[in-house]
Amino acid sequence: MNALQLLLDFGLLLLIWIVQLIIYPSFTFMDEAGFQRWHPPYTQVISYFVVPLMLAQVALYSYLLIQEFRWLLLIQLILIGVAWANTFLVAVPLHNTLGSNTITLPYRTQLVRINRWRTAAWTLVFLLTVWQFFRQYLKSSNF
């Protein structure tokens, strides 16, 4: 476990909870015209944050797993895979649907529901990293 792992996991944890609790729910309060103006720039700008974090996280976990196989890393990589699958197989197509329809409210409310999988996956990845960090700390300090 290293500081970069903790940093990336925390970054995605923070981002996904902001999306789950603030950004996606706020979509349901916008009228159609306002949402149609806001959604395209939102998806472009948020990807500048999400894509580098996701790529760095999956690259780091793949590298760590190749360097030394550990079950915990494999479990975390599987959870990251769940987040990726939900992102690219469910969330991105749903965002594309939002961008191409004039009546979007049902799809906007669906975003909060489908995002729960990513929220759960990245939360578990982070919690496992924190658990590993404390386990190593306690082991090295002879507690």
Which of 89, 70, 102 has its CA nearest to residue 1? 70
> What are the pLDDT tens digits along the chain (143 aa)?
688 999 999 999 999 999 999 999 999 999 999 999 999 999 999 999 999 999 999 999 999 999 999 999 999 999 999 999 999 999 999 999 988 877 888 899 999 999 999 999 999 999 999 999 888 887 777 65
Core vs surface per residue 30-54: b (16+ CB within 10 A) or e:
beeeebeeebeeeeeeeeeebeebb
**Of all helices (H) and strands (E), which one includes residue 69?**
none
Domain span at residue 86?
3-140
pTM: 0.91
Residues 6+ apart with CB under 8 A from 109: 28
Cβ atoms of 110 and 94 within 8 Å: the answer is: yes
Determine the Cα–Cα distance for residues 93 and 128; give it in Å rounded to an integer. 30
Q: How many residues does the chain have?
A: 143
Show the tokens assigned to 116.
Answer: 């729960």
The counts of H helices and E strands in the chain are 6, 0
pLDDT digits (tens, 9 = 90+) for 95-120: 999 888 778 888 999 999 999 999 99
Q: How many domains does the chain have?
A: 1
